[in-house]
Amino acid sequence: MKHIIVIGGGAAGLLAAMGAAGQDTRVTLLEKNEKLGKKIYITGKGRCNVTNDCTPESFRTQVVKNPRFLFSALSAFAPADMMALLERLGCPVKTERGNRVFPVSEKASDVTRALEKELRRLGVQIRLNSGVRSVDATDGRITGVTLEDGGFLAADAVIVATGGMSYPTTGSTGDGFKWLSALGHTVYPALPTLIPLTSDARWVTELQGLSLRNVRLTLKSGKKKLYTELGEMLFTHFGITGPLVLSASAYMAELAPDEVSLTLDLKPGLTHEQLDARIQRDVAEAGRKQLGTVLCGLYPARLAEIMAQLCVLGWTAPACELTREARTALVERTKALEIPVSGTRPLSEAVVTRGGVSVKELNPATMESKLVSGLYVAGELLDVDALTGGYNLQIAFSTGLLAGRSARA
């Protein structure tokens, strides 16, 4: 009977063990933590955004790095399949704005519990508090793994699904990168992506706590537009965060802050001409009232004060004295408010990490290594990442299940 070892009890590892289980296989799942799915518990702020209800084709448009590598994995196990699996396992799901899928209970623990129950039904041996020291191979073929306590477990195949290096308290400490590098694989450095951005601009941090909705964020490198989207963002004590910002960060993971520019359209529903007309109308109606009253009609109060400072406008000056030049400057700043970016928050705070094992050294149809027979890689260890919305978790599920099925074949 073939013995398959899965290292890592996260999203990729759970599905890998499920895919590997069968009458002709013995599957051992090794998890160094005291429980399975520790990172799953914190996804979607504890609600667990398990996937995105879209087609594989639409899904790949949201993958920033190496989307073509996922063709087979998403074909083998699409978002619809993940939703059907959870429903079958007694964890009903619901679809919310942006096609984001969550368990109806809004409890991430229900997702992990359902998957763990299924693994036990399938006869998978789950070993908690079982750290691994190395993945071992001889003459280009997997032989097994050496545990941290010095013990050795022989195996016909090993699936490495230990995650990247974000949220290290969940167990994602880069162990898999070290093992795979030792086995000859090219491993690109882990970089933070889907991460809040920092700013040294005082006006940015002064807006701490201000949340903006229905604004458009645009990221450029030189004249090249890298990302633009409508949505929500939040100003913080260190800079900016929120869905728009996290997604934009995915496109600047390999760029220095001085290589990009970030601008915010505060009134995306209005053209420059329409906005100018509105300001003229508001000014005319305000007459000799303070200009500040006009600005507070355009923006949230705290932002209105900042806009007055940035455009060098007299807050208490009569609105009717607003010059054409000042009005033009206000329109331009409203449609393209540049937010200075100094960097990102620490790697440990990233939702996921960019980098990992070169996909050129893996068979995309099986997730098996081209260098070591019987070695499979899944999840965040792969040099593949996507935007927010359940995509990264689905990548882990899909690549994990494909690796498991392939190892069993």
pLDDT tens-digit series, residues 34-47: 999 988 988 877 89
Mean pLDDT of 239-247: 96
- How many other β-carbons are positioned within 10 Å of the β-carbon of residue 376? 28
CA separation for the pair 84, 103 (Å, rounded): 12
> Residue 203 — left, alpha, or beta (φ > 0 → left; ψ -120 to 50 → alpha)?
alpha
- Nearest alpha-carbon partner for 393 in 125, 112, 132, 175: 112
Q: What is the pLDDT of residue 41?
A: 85
- In three-state secondary structure terms, 219 is strand
Q: What is the pLDDT of residue 42?
A: 83
- Residue 168: which pLDDT band, with cuts at 50, 70 and 90? confident
Residue 17 pLDDT exceeds 90 = yes
In order of start, what are the domains of the chain with their CATH numbers? 2-183+352-408 (3.50.50.60), 196-344 (no CATH)
- How many other β-carbons are positioned within 10 Å of the β-carbon of residue 329? 15
- Residue 21: which pLDDT band, with cuts at 50, 70 and 90? very high
Structure pTM? 0.91
CA separation for the pair 137, 143 (Å, rounded): 5
Q: What is the pLDDT of residue 382?
A: 97
- How many other β-carbons are positioned within 10 Å of the β-carbon of residue 136? 18
- In three-state secondary structure terms, 148 is coil
Q: What is the pLDDT of residue 45?
A: 78
- Nearest alpha-carbon partner for 31 in 143, 126, 164, 168: 126
Q: What is the pLDDT of residue 58?
A: 97
Residue 302 pLDDT exceeds 80 = yes
Residue 126 pLDDT exceeds 80 = yes
- Nearest alpha-carbon partner for 36 in 142, 124, 106, 155: 124
CA separation for the pair 314, 331 (Å, rounded): 16
| 282-289 contact pairs (CB < 8 A, 24+) | 282/319, 283/319, 283/320, 283/322, 283/327, 284/320, 286/319, 286/320, 287/318, 287/319, 287/320, 288/318, 288/319, 288/320, 289/318, 289/319
The answer to whether 89 and 98 are in contact (CB under 8 A) is: no
- In three-state secondary structure terms, 332 is helix
DSSP state for residue 124 in the 8-state scheme: P
pLDDT above 90 coverage of the chain, percent: 93
pLDDT tens-digit series, residues 131-167: 999 999 999 999 999 999 999 999 999 999 999 888 7
Classify residue 356 as exposed, middle or buried by CB count within 10 Å of its CB (0-12, 13-18, 19+). Answer: buried
